[in-house]
Amino acid sequence: FTAFERLLNAKIEGAIASGSYDVGLETLQAESFVVTDRRTIHVHPGTGAEARLLTITQRQRNRPVTLAEAFDHLDDPGARLLINERSRRAAVQVPTTSIMLDDGEIERRVRLIRPMEAHNIPIKMMGETHWVEAERIAFETAWDAEATEVPEYADSTIHVVSGLLLPIWKRLPNESTRVYRLQTDDGERIVGRRVSPAWVAGALATGTSTLTPDHAFMALMDGKTILDLT
């Protein structure tokens, strides 16, 4: 049963990473949601019902992993304290589930836990990184230095298409069909599909892209977007 649970968890992780994991109607949580822009992108000719593109600023409280929480991972005999030789950042390496690739190969991975993020990396790629095992004191210094730099809050922008969705459902990006709900600071309740900045730039294109360089880079790294730079 334990082996089955590990395989199931690996499948779920893979689906979440690819955006295909469907958990139904999901509620977004944040310290604050503020609608900063509203645009009508479709009007039903018979009823006048609208589909609207909302630009929303969300504020989330940063909760960095504490040094004590980082050291708690050392209860796992497979855990290691690391420092990146190039960035001087710290991470805790812990075992994680393996995944099966499309060709049937089993990819063994480890998980790197850092103050504000955690991600899985194939074991065979670790030798190509700058992560090296560190002494406890050096790790503690590097971890604390990064954690103290983290601001209390982080603001980011999300885009949600709400209102009459069915007529334009096929026009929305197909990498994820999740429907989200949230409540703004003004008490407005919003239900809709999240869309990427790349999709928004295409939907609102008027000859000049509204996509910022940072969002363009993120869209390309995601591997699901092609940008025409001409």
Other C-beta atoms closer than 10 Å to the C-beta of 155 total: 13
Q: Are 3 and 158 in contact (CB under 8 A)?
A: no
**How much is the pLDDT for 204?**
81
What local confidence, expressed as pLDDT, does residue 21 receive?
A: 53
Burial 114-134 (b: 16+ CB within 10 A, else e): bbeeeebbeeeeeeeeebeeb
- CA–CA gap between residue 159 and residue 197 (Å, rounded): 7
Give the pLDDT of residue 203.
Answer: 83
Q: What pLDDT sits at residue 2?
A: 53
Q: Which of 210, 179, 175, 165 is nearest to 55 (CA)?
A: 210
Q: pTM of the predicted model, to two decimals?
A: 0.66
What range does the domain containing 131 cover? Answer: 67-149
Q: Which residues contact 116 (CB under 8 A, 6 or more apart)?
A: 62, 64, 65, 150
In angstroms, rounded to a whole number, what is the distance separating the alpha carbons of residues 89 and 82? Answer: 8
Same domain, 191 and 202: no
Task: Please give the order of strands across the beta sheet that includes 90-95.
Answer: 118-122, 109-113, 90-95, 80-84, 131-133
Last residue in a domain, options 93, 120, 149: 149
Do both 145 and 96 map to the same domain? yes
Count up the domains in the chain and report the number. 3
Regarding whether 185 and 123 lie in a shared domain, the answer is no
| One domain for residues 143 and 72 | yes
pLDDT digits (tens, 9 = 90+) for 67-95: 999 999 999 999 999 999 999 999 999 99
Instruction: Give the model confidence (pLDDT) of 2-60 as tens digits.
Output: 555 555 566 656 655 555 555 568 999 999 999 999 999 999 999 999 999 999 999 99
Same domain, 132 and 84: yes
- What confidence tens digit (pLDDT) does each residue in 170-215 have? 899 887 788 999 999 999 999 999 999 989 988 887 533 444 556 5
Q: Taking residues 135-161, what's their average pLDDT? A: 97
Residues 51 and 103 in one domain: no
Q: Could you give the C-alpha distances from 198 to 74, 114, 173, 195, 203, in angstroms and in order?
A: 41, 28, 10, 8, 9
pLDDT at 173: 87
On whether both 84 and 16 belong to a single domain, the answer is: no
CB 93 within 8 A of CB 119: no
55 and 71, same domain (yes or no): no
**pLDDT reported for residue 138:** 97
| pLDDT (0 to 100) of residue 1 | 43
